[in-house]
Amino acid sequence: MQQEVIIVGGGMVGLSLALMLAKAKIGVKLLEAIRYPDYDDADLAPYHSSFDARNSALSRRTVQIYQELGLWDALQEHATPILEVNITEQGSFGKARLKAEQEKVESFGQVIENAWLGRVLLTEVKKESLIELIDGVQVTSLTQDTDHAFIEAQRGEEALRLQAKIVIAADGRDSFCRKALGIGASVHDYDQVAIVTTVQTSKPHHHVGFERFSHLGPLALLPLPGEYRRSVVWPVPKGTEGEWLGDENDQHFLDALQQTYGDRAGKFQKTGKRFSFPLSQVLAEKQAVGRVVLMGNAAHTIHPVAGQGFNLCMRDAHVLLRYLKEQVNAGADLGDASMLLDYEKSRLTDQQRVIKFCDSVVRGFSNQNPVLKLIRNTGLVAFDVIPGIKPLVANYAMGLKA
């Protein structure tokens, strides 16, 4: 069978998009550089370079997409809903609170560990006859002509030459495909490293998520399955990460969490292994060239401060799916360049809004100027009391106004 689509990059975005296309009866070749793990233990999802130690806060829109794919029941087993969000700044008076009940929604989204999300997606992909999965493959060339896009790749000793009507490059922040096409990217280094782990607290989380701005960086504490388990994402200044990593620093890390967060969670009792990830914003100058379209972090890598990066990528994928289905129904070329440019144009407003918001929050709360601290804490108070603001922000956060 001739697959009409090649997806380069089999992380969470690539796997999700492959399943969307297969459901639409569109054949896919999915290429991934790293070999996927074999899941021998039904109760284990080991960390893997494609599904690492981080967690994803899935917006309501993303949950809806997985429901459409028939995957949500399997994912729900490993996810927990966010029923309330609290935003505070250490040592300041401002506080903002969003409650799902007040906004008349079931939840603001669901938190899931990437290791489990990746396992569920990979399991489903392996069952799908319309997806040919090729892992452990290094793409070495990407070219195109008027009728096809061509991939050359190496898998061990085997040289592959593949062709398709369209190539979707979801191969990450340092995308080979983006560079092969000569697409430039603007890069902003936040000079921060995200410390990521899971902790256990003495008080149950009650499905409350916290964003706590501190002098080190914005600490996100989100509920996980199990009453006392919470995920931690804590961006800290680059160069200080060694202070937080390693088993010998467990208690030091817990003490720092306690001091920054206070006693709302009770006592921080245990921490898992900490992992670190450098933080930067990488924005491709173009997202569609000829028969190739950039997707996921290859198109836009953003700061995790508001947990919007993966959700934005999922909305991109879902819109691209709609364009490709229209091409199929019309018997038209899946890789039509003008269609892909239309797709890119249709996504710019949503993308730019999210990118600007995340970047503004990071920059705004990084400045410790007393006047600016007063202004932003006054803003948090205003957010909490002025009618009409909360529903608007909540809908954007849930991905329902994209």
Reported as a single tens digit per residue, the pLDDT across 216-242 is 767 888 999 989 999 998 888 899 888
Q: What is the pLDDT of residues 2-46, one digit of tens each?
A: 558 999 999 999 999 999 999 999 999 999 999 988 877 777 766
pLDDT at 297 exceeding the cut of 50: yes
pLDDT tens across 181-205, in order? Answer: 999 999 999 888 989 999 999 999 9
The residue that leads in pLDDT, 271 or 85, is 271
* pLDDT value, residue 107: 78
Ordered DSSP codes for 34-87: SPPPP---TT----BTTB-S-EEEEEHHHHHHHHHTT-HHHHHTTEEEE-EEEE
Asked if pLDDT for residue 390 goes beyond 50, the answer is: no
The DSSP string of 87-101 is EEETTSS-EEEEETT
Taking only the tens place, the pLDDT of each residue in 137-191 is 999 999 999 999 999 999 989 999 999 999 999 999 999 999 999 999 999 998 8
CB atoms within 10 A of CB 373: 18
CA distance 295 to 313: 7
- What interhelical angle do 337-366 and 370-385 show, nearest 10? 110
Given this model, what pLDDT does residue 235 score? 85
Query: What is the per-residue pLDDT across 59-116, written as a single tens digit (0 to 9) for each?
Result: 888 999 999 999 999 999 999 998 988 877 655 545 677 777 766 677 778 999 998 9
Q: Which two tokens stand for residue 303?
A: 């700061």
- Tell me what pLDDT residue 361 has: 65
Q: Which domains does the chain have, with CATH numbers?
A: 5-365 (3.50.50.60)
Neighbours of 191 (CB within 10 A): 13
- Six token digits for residue 199: 């902790």
**pLDDT band for position 358 (cuts 50, 70, 90):** confident
Q: Position of tokens 């495909």?
A: 177
CA pair distance 315, 313, nearest whole angstrom? 5
What pLDDT does 48 receive?
65
Q: Is the pLDDT of residue 376 over 70?
A: no
Task: Write the single-letter amino acid at 24.
Answer: A
pLDDT band for 385, please (50, 70, 90 cuts). very low
